[in-house]
Amino acid sequence: MTKFLTGAAVAALSVAFAAEASATEWNASVWGKRRAFTEHIEKLAELVSEKTGGEFTINVSYGGLSQPKENLDGIEIGAFEMAQFCAGYHEDKNPTLTVLELPFLGVNTLEEEVAVSNAVYAHPAVQDDMARWNAKLIMSSPMPQYNLVGTGEPRDTLEDFDGMRVRATGGLGEAFRAVGGVPTSVPSNEAYSAMEAGVVDTVAFAPHAHLSFGTINRADWWTANLNPGTVNCPVVVNIDAYDALSPEEKEALDSSVDEAIAYYLETYGKLMTKWESVLAEKGVTKVVISDDQLAAFRAKAADPIRAQWVEDMNAKGLPGQELYDTLEGALAQARAGN
């Protein structure tokens, strides 16, 4: 072996080390397991890597970096660069986002959910709210309306909801409280255990979560049309990490968001087809709530909770009515476009 490298070899090594040093690697904190709810994050990572020739990579970690309720704290201190969280897990940390979790908003499709989320995320008050956590909103995790699974006799009237222990967060929890329910906000990955232990009687989830977290496996019945609302679970990045990206890396990330959301919507559509077959396979009874009961639920939960929310936001110095109007305007525009 020669003792000395040739000038060409030294130059080649220098280039290799420089390339390694300039590569950007991010960590994204989510929870549970890979599922429809995380497919846009997986797709985003795939697209970013492709567009940068592998020079910018995002490693998606399922629970290895943080607990779900602590993802915003991790973003704030830079423990990881990207995270997903749900507004209802900690309303005090993200009060402006909770407008998207108010009950009976009338958002009917995932495309409408994307539209209203994007409009609210773009509002200066929301961006300031997130900046307190050094967080920049980049995309939503659109979910369909939540519905209940439960054990025992089906609950199909408001009278049946009285005293019902339900896993429901944010505005959904308040909606059930308004009709006598007893909501608890355990994280989604603890919902099965809560149901198994009898801590809750019912669990309110979107279909993907009932499948992923196994609550459907304990279900005797499912409310097919209660549709009280949904939760909002954005994906955020650490502002300092985002600002440190090169222009090319920022372009790769920003330009991949719409593609990632489109892939998510396609994936979720396939899951909804599967959901119907799972219900049939497991013999889960579909409970259809009557129009009269739905109207009574809305009367108790929709307008009063919304009015109280606006009042609470105003008391905090936040533009509650303006945020709600932003949502309503985006929904009307989305429907006009269709």
The domain that holds 121 is classified in CATH as: 3.40.190.170
β-strand 165-167 against 182-184: which pairing, if any? parallel
- Burial class of 222 by CB neighbour count within 10 A (0 to 12, 13 to 18, 19+): buried
* Shared domain check, 184 and 105: no
* Shared domain check, 226 and 94: no
Model pLDDT for residues 282-309, shown as the tens digit of each residue: 999 999 999 999 999 999 999 999 999 9
pLDDT band with cut points at 50, 70 and 90 for residue 12:
very low
Number of folded domains in the chain? 2
Report the pLDDT value the prediction gives residue 6, as an integer from 0 to 100: 54
Report the pLDDT value the prediction gives residue 108, as an integer from 0 to 100: 87
* Shared domain check, 236 and 219: no
- Per-residue pLDDT at 13 exceeds 80: no
* Shared domain check, 301 and 238: no
- Per-residue pLDDT at 242 exceeds 90: yes
- Burial class of 140 by CB neighbour count within 10 A (0 to 12, 13 to 18, 19+): buried
308 within a domain of the structure (yes/no) = yes
Q: What average pLDDT does the segment 218-237 reach? A: 94
191 within a domain of the structure (yes/no) = yes
* Shared domain check, 169 and 119: no
* Shared domain check, 168 and 214: yes
- Per-residue pLDDT at 276 exceeds 90: no
State the DSSP code for 216: G
19 within a domain of the structure (yes/no) = no
Q: How far is CA 140 from CA 38, 130, 231, 309, in A?
A: 11, 14, 11, 22
Model pLDDT for residues 100-124, shown as the tens digit of each residue: 999 999 898 999 999 999 999 999 9
Contact call for residues 149 and 216 (beta carbons, < 8 A): yes
Domain extent for 53: 24-142+232-271
Q: What average pLDDT does the segment 200-224 reach? A: 93
Q: Report the C-alpha gap between 304 and 294 in whole angstroms.
A: 15
pLDDT band with cut points at 50, 70 and 90 for residue 271:
confident
7 within a domain of the structure (yes/no) = no
Q: Report the C-alpha gap between 40 and 52 in whole angstroms.
A: 18
**Residues 222, 227, 228, 232, CA torsion sign:** positive
Report the pLDDT value the prediction gives residue 281, as an integer from 0 to 100: 93
* Shared domain check, 199 and 106: no
Report the pLDDT value the prediction gives residue 21, as an integer from 0 to 100: 53
* Shared domain check, 134 and 64: yes
pTM listed for this prediction: 0.85
pLDDT band with cut points at 50, 70 and 90 for residue 16:
very low
Chain centroid, CA 122 distance in Å: 17
Where does a domain end: 251, 271, 291? 271
4 within a domain of the structure (yes/no) = no
* Shared domain check, 238 and 226: no
17 within a domain of the structure (yes/no) = no
13 within a domain of the structure (yes/no) = no
Q: What average pLDDT does the segment 201-215 reach? A: 92
* Shared domain check, 253 and 151: no
- Per-residue pLDDT at 274 exceeds 90: no
12 within a domain of the structure (yes/no) = no
Report the pLDDT value the prediction gives residue 269, as an integer from 0 to 100: 86
* Shared domain check, 238 and 171: no
Report the pLDDT value the prediction gives residue 338, as an integer from 0 to 100: 66
- Dihedrals φ, ψ of 28, to 5°? -115, 125
* Shared domain check, 29 and 63: yes
Q: Report the C-alpha gap between 207 and 268 in whole angstroms.
A: 10
Side-chain half-sphere of 1: how many Cα atoms within 13 Å? Answer: 3
